[in-house]
Amino acid sequence: MEERAIHIVDLHKSFRDQKVLDGINLEVEKEKITVIIGKSGGGKSVLLKHMIGLLKPDSGEIWVNGTEITKLNDKKLNEVRKTFGMLFQEAALFDSMNVYENVSFPLREHRSMSEKEIERIVEERLKQVGLLAFKEKMPSELSGGMKKRVGLARALVCDPDIILFDEPTSALDPVISLTILDLIKETQSYIKKTYVVISHDILGMFRIADKVAMLSDGKIIEYGTPQEIRRSKHEITQEFLQATQIPGFTGGSHG
């Protein structure tokens, strides 16, 4: 139990007639970066939302740090959620607040801290993501990559045990993608928390992943280290790897 942050057992979920998750079994190790790779619309986000209780499964169990969360009431679920941080696909910054207010918001709502302490923590986090100079800016004034960095700072600000990343590199240009991935890796090596990342960007993820899970047709078809996955002979994994390779060019696959 100790080395597992999240443990998913036989998770099923359907929307109307469409089976999205069809028996997911997954163990997410503590203090590691676990990447879940799958096609767009293949149920990755749905899986992630189950981990934090945004969606309720049709059947199956989800254990978070030894607590089964699918049957908890809102109040207890919120206690579990406080151990989470999450970076959304489009960062989901609050439009009505500037960068500083966005990052300090979870602290203000959950911790009774003096304004000075809040300021210290928030500025530290903003420094980590390199956006201290932008703290008075509104989200609408930021680029996509900056928003994600602010989102990361906000996700980290409460010192959560588990941080979930929903497509951290989508809709970003390759250079910015790399800086975000490096930032994720860097912060993880610094704070040593459990990271769960979902993405379809298999090559980019090999840069940061400790463990990779392949999601296809509502099931985890493969699970292992990046090296193991790269050597996999599994049909769908091969398809994924080949789709991102340009013939005669091997760049990007080593890192």
Partner 1 sequence: MFRKILRSIFQLPLTFLQELGNISRMFLQVTYLSFRRPFKLDYIFKQMEFIGVRSMLVVVITGTFTGMVLALQSSYGFRKFGAEGLVGAIVALSMTRELGPVLTSLMVTGRAGSSMAAELGTMRVTEQIDALTVMALNPVKYLIVPRVVASFLMLPVLTIISDLLGIVGGYIIGVKLLGINEGAFINKIEKTLDLPDIYNGLVKAAVFGIILSVISCYKGYYTRGGAEGVGRATTEAVVLSSVTILISDYVLTSIMF
Binding residues for partner 1, per CB under 8 A?
49, 52, 54, 74, 78-79, 81-82, 84, 86, 88-90, 92-95, 105-106, 109-110
CB atoms within 10 A of CB 248: 5
CB atoms within 10 A of CB 170: 15
Return the number of the residue (93 or 184) whose C-beta is nearest partner 1.
93
Cα(179)–Cα(166) distance, integer angstroms? 16
Return the number of the residue (22 or 90) whose C-beta is nearest partner 1.
90
Return the number of the residue (125 or 207) whose C-beta is nearest partner 1.
125
What's the min distance (Å) between Cβ of 23 and partner 1? 25
Return the number of the residue (105 or 223) whose C-beta is nearest partner 1.
105
Tokens of 142: 């930021």
Return the number of the residue (2 or 95) whose C-beta is nearest partner 1.
95
What's the min distance (Å) between Cβ of 206 and partner 1? 27
**Kind of pairing, strands 162-166 and 4-15?**
unpaired
What's the min distance (Å) between Cβ of 13 and partner 1? 16
151 touches 128 (CB < 8 A): no
105 touches 154 (CB < 8 A): yes
What's the min distance (Å) between Cβ of 154 and partner 1? 8
What's the min distance (Å) between Cβ of 101 and partner 1? 12
Handedness of CA 19, 49, 127, 143 (dihedral sign): positive
Tokens of 234: 């599994």
Return the number of the residue (90 or 217) whose C-beta is nearest partner 1.
90
What's the min distance (Å) between Cβ of 86 and partner 1? 5
Q: Identify which of 145, 169, 159, 162 has the alpha carbon closest to the alpha carbon of residue 51.
A: 162
Tokens of 114: 């003096």
What's the min distance (Å) between Cβ of 227 and partner 1? 33
Return the number of the residue (42 or 151) whose C-beta is nearest partner 1.
151
Q: How far apart are the first and last CA of the chain?
A: 32
Q: Identify which of 26, 87, 84 has the alpha carbon closest to the alpha carbon of residue 53.
A: 84
Integer angstrom CA distances of residue 1 from 5, 28, 63, 101:
8, 11, 10, 37
Say how many CA atoms lie within 13 Å of 241 toward its Cβ.
Answer: 18
